[in-house]
Amino acid sequence: MENPEVTVSAVCGGSLVLAMAGLLVGRHATTHHMGLDMLDATGVHAVSARVVDDGDLVTGAGVTSGLDLGLYLLEREVGPRIAHAVEELFAHERRGTVWRNTGPQPARF
């Protein structure tokens, strides 16, 4: 991305739009599970996860993961206490682990 002070986020097919425009080549991202192969075909490292954080790019899988993505961004920017308060306000509990390209590589079985 052009400006390191700007975070771009997309949910569901929005990730595919960015990928087809050539903006995500070599990046880690997710989209709806039915579009992961298309995402991969555009040079993106497609990740089967609900939310993927690739630094200044944060993507969400299907449309229902949009709330999870928004709450994660809120936590990342202003902290977990605010994000938790908004979760309670929305009566929504986030699911899954946010995927980041850090830590050891898991063994393949």
Nearest to 23 by CA among 51, 49, 56: 56
Return the percentage of the chain with pLDDT > 70, whole number.
98
Q: What share of the chain is helix, strand, coil (3-state, %, to 5)?
A: 40, 15, 45
* From 9, 10, 11, 12, active-site residue: 12
pLDDT at 2 (0 to 100)? 65
- Asked if the model's pLDDT at residue 93 lies above 60, the reply is yes
1-51: per-residue pLDDT in tens?
Answer: 567 789 999 999 999 999 999 999 999 999 999 999 999 999 999 999 999
Q: Is 12 assigned a catalytic role?
A: yes
- Asked if the model's pLDDT at residue 65 lies above 80, the reply is yes
Q: Which CATH number fits domain 8-95: 3.40.50.880, 3.40.1360.10, 3.40.190.10, 3.40.630.10?
A: 3.40.50.880
